Amino acid sequence: MASDQRRKGLFDPTTVLTGHGSGQSRKRYAPLQVIYVQDDAADACFYVESGWVKISTLAPNGKEAVIAIRREGEFFGTRCLVAKRTASTTALTACSLVRMTTSALVRLLREEPDFAVMFATYLVGQSINDQESLVDHLTNPAEKRLARALLQLAGHVDGADPQPISKPINQGILANMIGTTRSRVNFFMNNFKRQGFIDYDRYGRVHVRDALRQAMLRD
């Protein structure tokens, strides 16, 4: 995301999110390491320098729901500004994160107008994505929800084949993201492959084709 921001002339957050100075630190996490858990005190926000982070909630019945995946150039833990932790976060891959205390984040928002505009724009964009995901979950069948999730993870741009999903993604995580079973995800993925909507490379990464988006539009 940081490189995309530079190309678009937007503020590059890495100029102020260095991992040094008052209230900032750089944290490294191994795959599957927990970063924080639901209901923890919310005392910091995180910026993803590299890697993938899973954000999930645990229902009273013990069932996990994956809310989102955060990748390089994205933030999580932003509700530290207003509330306690409402979700848990886990490193899906090896991660390098910049941790900002709530007071350090507030100070940046006050003292760095360009950062404040970028951060507000980011939050609005995430709010729109969250709303679209909720509508998708309430109105579309599981197969279409999976198609949308794959397009998002691949960073799809309308009219062009996206880059492959940069990390191998577990089908169990995909199942938790769209609210179905792993066996159903496996069935849908095989069906997508047969129709030429996706393919796999030798590293196990999924390549998502624009034909999948076109098929969604036809339905």
Q: Render each residue's pLDDT in the chain as its tens digit; 219 residues.
A: 454 544 355 789 999 999 988 899 999 999 999 999 998 889 999 999 999 999 999 878 888 888 889 999 999 999 898 888 989 999 999 999 999 999 999 999 999 999 999 999 999 998 898 888 888 888 889 999 999 899 888 876 555 666 678 788 889 989 988 989 999 999 999 999 999 999 988 888 898 988 888 888 776
The pLDDT, as a whole number, for residue 158 is 59
Tokens of 6: 């530079």
Asked whether the whole model's pTM tops 0.85, one would answer no
Q: Using CA atoms, how far apart are residues 161 and 125, in angstroms rounded to an integer?
A: 22
CB-based contacts of 191-198 (< 8 A; 24+ apart in sequence): 191/143, 192/147, 192/150, 197/147, 198/150
The torsion of the CA quartet 28, 44, 88, 206, rounded to 10 degrees, works out to: -50
**Taking each helix axis from N to C terminus, what angle separates 113-139 and 102-111, rounded to the nearest 10 degrees?**
120
Rounded-to-integer distance, Cα 90 and Cα 95, Å:
10
Identify each DSSP E strand in the chain by its residue range: 24-29, 34-36, 44-50, 53-58, 64-70, 75-76, 88-91, 95-101, 198-200, 206-208
Dist. CA 152–CA 147, nearest whole Å: 9
Which residue is it, tokens 């999730």? 149
Start-to-end Cα distance in the chain: 31
Residue 82: both structure tokens together: 């207003």
3-state DSSP call for residue 118? helix
CA distance 105 to 184: 42
What's the pLDDT at 164? 78
What distance in Å separates the CA atoms of residue 15 and residue 11, rounded to the nearest whole number?
A: 9
Give me the domains of the chain, ranges plus CATH numbers. 2-113 (2.60.120.10), 139-218 (1.10.10.10)
What is the per-residue pLDDT for 157? 58
Q: Tokens representing 162?
A: 């996206």
